[in-house]
Amino acid sequence: MKKKTYLILSAMKEELDGLCVHLPLVSKNEGKFSYSFFENDSIRVYAMQSGIGKVAMAMTMSSFLATHEVDEVINVGVAGSISSKLKKMQIFVGERCCYHDVDVTEFGYSIGQMCSMPLYYECDSELVKKALVIDSKRIVSGLIISGDSFVSKNKINQSWFKNFDNPIACDMESAAVGQVCHTLNIPFLIIRSISDDTSEEGNKAIYDGNLEEACKIAGEVVAKLIQ
């Protein structure tokens, strides 16, 4: 039987370390690639740190996928809540993602929509279903929006809630994962542990304080999902 092969991507070392707590990954070097690896009778896992932001994520993914065949991509890490529906240290599973900082409306596109791309990148529905049953009390699913900014209280743009369909979380990479996987026709999933509430004063300090534990929570969900 063919093993299912996953590419798991995290922007930061802390997020990848959170997965390593729950999965016995070993470090490997292959040419220009450094990654963590796990394999058993049924799955093969490549886990990589991309760097922070949309460009870093897209570059890392595209380079690796050009030379490696994978069945599914999972982007794991932390994110901020922009909705009362999503509390700190809960788990977010993306149903879809989009950019909040793209504007080519002069060419007839919707705000947030990249040229020749859909507005929303849809996560794989089967992966979403599998993730939701892992911890139904703590997991919330919905739309995550991405841009190259760490969002704090004075950076929340109220137009997001008018322009997009009920966004509840924000980060700096998910939509880039969505665009690459959409282009390459690879199923993908976004899993985030909520490190902070962006509407709170001083959420950067809250983010720093919760980061390590939030990364472990998200990593545990991914480990259970793929095994």
User: Average pLDDT, stretch 33-60?
Assistant: 96
Tell me the percentage of the chain whose pLDDT exceeds 90.
78
pLDDT value at position 152? 77
Query: Dmax of the chain from CA atoms?
Result: 52
pLDDT value at position 119? 98
The superfamily (CATH) of domain 4-226 is Nucleoside phosphorylase domain (3.40.50.1580)
CB 39 within 8 A of CB 3: yes
How far is 141 from 83, CA to CA, in rounded Å? 12
How far is 222 from 211, CA to CA, in rounded Å? 17
**What pLDDT digit, counting tens, does each position of 199-218 carry?**
777 778 878 888 899 899 99
- Give the type of residue at 199: S
Catalytic residue among 15, 72, 173, 220: 15
- Domain range list for the chain: 4-226
pLDDT value at position 170? 94
Q: Three-state SS for 219?
A: helix
Say whether 171 is catalytic: no
pLDDT value at position 207? 84
**What pLDDT digit, counting tens, does each position of 61-115 carry?**
999 999 999 999 999 999 988 998 888 889 999 999 999 999 999 999 999 999 9
pLDDT value at position 26? 95
How far is 193 from 201, CA to CA, in rounded Å? 20
Say whether 196 is catalytic: yes
pLDDT value at position 203? 79
Average pLDDT in the chain: 93
**What pLDDT digit, counting tens, does each position of 152-174 carry?**
777 788 999 999 999 999 999 99
CB 70 within 8 A of CB 6: yes
Sign of CA dihedral 209, 226, 39, 66: negative
Catalytic residue among 171, 196, 197, 220: 196
How far is 118 from 42, CA to CA, in rounded Å? 34
Question: Among 153, 198, 189, which residue's Cα sits nearest to residue 171?
Answer: 198
Burial of 177 (C-beta count, 10 Å sphere; 0-12/13-18/19+) = buried
How far is 75 from 58, CA to CA, in rounded Å? 12
pLDDT value at position 197? 77
Residue 1 clears pLDDT 70, i.e. is over it: no
How far is 225 from 222, CA to CA, in rounded Å? 5
User: Average pLDDT, stretch 188-204?
Assistant: 85
